[in-house]
Amino acid sequence: MSHQLEQTMIELFLYNHWANQELMSICMGLDDEIMTASILGAYGSIRDTFAHVLKAESSFLKRIHGVCPEPDFKWEEKPSLAQMMAYETTLHETLLDTLKHVPATQNVHEESDDWTFDYQARLIFMSVVYHGIAHRTDITTMLNSKGIKLPELDVWGYESTYPERFQAKVVKIGQ
């Protein structure tokens, strides 16, 4: 079925992937003490938070399709960030394909023994982006508290990386 796809939503998914990959790359160089330390007021350690984000993205796909790509590792074996980055890319590609082929208004149905829940797929699409931002903020807050310098990982940092996507140009006046 053909549907109208808003380019902004595609860009938000691309941003989410970029920010996940950038932050994971930064964290690959950190020692295990920082990676496994708990983050007060947040999900857990940096490693656990990345795992949580990926498991959530996987669950978002299952809610729409009933299945999702499986990682080539076992979560209980504490995968490396490199393994998680590869899985994040697979999930991103599947999420982007889902966004392109599943209408935002398509019904998603969930149920258990004592409830059913119906909603539009757009709620999942929004959740992918919101959930990623919330937990990347947890991680960057922890890293900032440890004095680790970070690049801009917000949408302005994304725009600086890909100015052509936004027809962005800076003109300096009076120089």
Sequence spans of domains, the chain: 7-166
pLDDT tens-digit readout, 128-147: 999 999 999 999 999 998 89
pLDDT at 139: 95
Mean pLDDT of 75-89: 96
Q: Does the CA dihedral 153-24-135-13 come out positive or negative?
A: positive
pLDDT tens-digit readout, 156-168: 999 999 999 999 8
- Alpha-carbon gap, residue 60 to 124, rounded angstroms: 6
- Alpha-carbon gap, residue 164 to 33, rounded angstroms: 39
pLDDT at 1: 46
- Alpha-carbon gap, residue 111 to 170, rounded angstroms: 51
pLDDT at 2: 55
- The pTM (predicted TM-score) of the whole model is 0.92
pLDDT at 38: 82
Rg value, the chain, Cα:
18
- Alpha-carbon gap, residue 175 to 95, rounded angstroms: 45
pLDDT tens-digit readout, 19-67: 999 999 999 999 999 999 887 788 899 999 999 999 999 999 999 999 9
Encode 10-49: b = buried (16+ Cβ within 10 Å), e = exposed.
Answer: ebbbebbbbbbebbbebbeeeeeebeeeebeebbebbbbb
Helix (H, G, I), strand (E, B) or coil at 70: coil
Which fold does the domain 7-166 belong to in CATH?
Four Helix Bundle (Hemerythrin (Met), subunit A) (1.20.120)
pLDDT tens-digit readout, 88-137: 999 999 999 999 999 999 999 999 999 999 999 999 999 999 999 999 99
Indicate if the pLDDT at residue 74 is higher than 50.
yes
Name the nearest CA neighbour of 140 among 24, 5, 8: 24
pLDDT at 40: 77
